[in-house]
Structure formats: structure tokens, C-alpha cells
Amino acid sequence: MAMCCRRGGCSLQKLHMISIGMGTKKDRYQLSEFAHGRLFNYTIVRFDPAVNRCIKYAIADALIQQQQNGLFRLNKKGKQLVGKIQEINDLMVSEKSFLSELSDRLDEDKIKSLMETWRYSSAEN
């Protein structure tokens, strides 16, 4: 969230996309291409129950909160944890690099458009 959801918060769909997108090199490549506007037929939209559980734990530990608009945002405690992780240079190196490169390029408008396209194309099939 600290690296990819800086503006107004992060939707549940975006959290799922980032989580799934970090699974393999191919997943990272496809999500990056979609975020940069170079892949228009991105169809890997999966919802992992583990992400939902992680969000619940993060809320319970006061690391994040859900805003009135439904988006999630880091709390002070969450930002402090992120700061500690960022300070350790040899921790989660590839993840930090990918999230830094992804940054704000995966915006909520792209996700909303993808979800609408995905929803309607799946309904036709």
C-alpha cells in the first residue's frame, strides 16, 4: 500500500491484483505491462481468500483502516512498519523493486475498467 496506493487509498481489487501479480515472474511481467498500458487483454483477476484474511489481521492490528469510500489506507502504525522494512536493504529486495516500479501506475481507473470489461465478457461466455 505504501508504494502503490499513495493517493486516496487502495481498493480490495487492487490489493488482490498486486498479490496475485507478485506470484511469479510471468505474473509480475503481465501486471507491469498492464499497469504501463502495454497489455490490454490482462485477464488474470483472481481473488485469494488469504488476501482477505491478511486485510482483516492488518485492521485488527491497527496497521490499516478501511475508509468511508471503501478504500484501504495505512495507519500510523502501518507506516512505521513499512519504514522499518524499507530500512533493511537485504529484506524483500525483489518485492520492493517490483512495487517501486509499479508505483502509482496501476491506478483505480484502470482496475475499474478492467473489472467492467472482465465482468461483461464473462457474462457473454
Mind listing the pLDDT tens digit for each residue in 44-97? Answer: 567 899 999 999 999 999 999 999 999 999 999 999 999 999 999 999 999 999
Who wins on pLDDT, 118 or 81? 81
Q: Which one of 3-7, 11-15, 34-38, 76-80 scores highest in mean pLDDT?
A: 76-80
Report the run of H or E that residue 45 belongs to, with start and end.
none
Proportion of the chain above pLDDT 70, given as a percent: 91
Q: Specify the pLDDT at position 119.
A: 62
Helices (DSSP H) in the chain: which residue ranges? 12-21, 25-35, 49-60, 76-87, 93-102, 108-124
Least confident of 23-32, 92-101, 113-122: 113-122
Average pLDDT, the chain: 87
According to the model, what pLDDT value does residue 124 have? 53
Give the contacts of 40 (CB within 8 A, at least 6 positions apart): 34
Instruction: Output the pLDDT for position 103.
Output: 83
- The residues with which 65 forms a beta bridge, in sequence order, are 73
Distance CA(71)–CA(23), nearest Å, equals 23
To the nearest whole percent, how much of the chain has pLDDT over 90? 53
- pTM for this prediction: 0.85
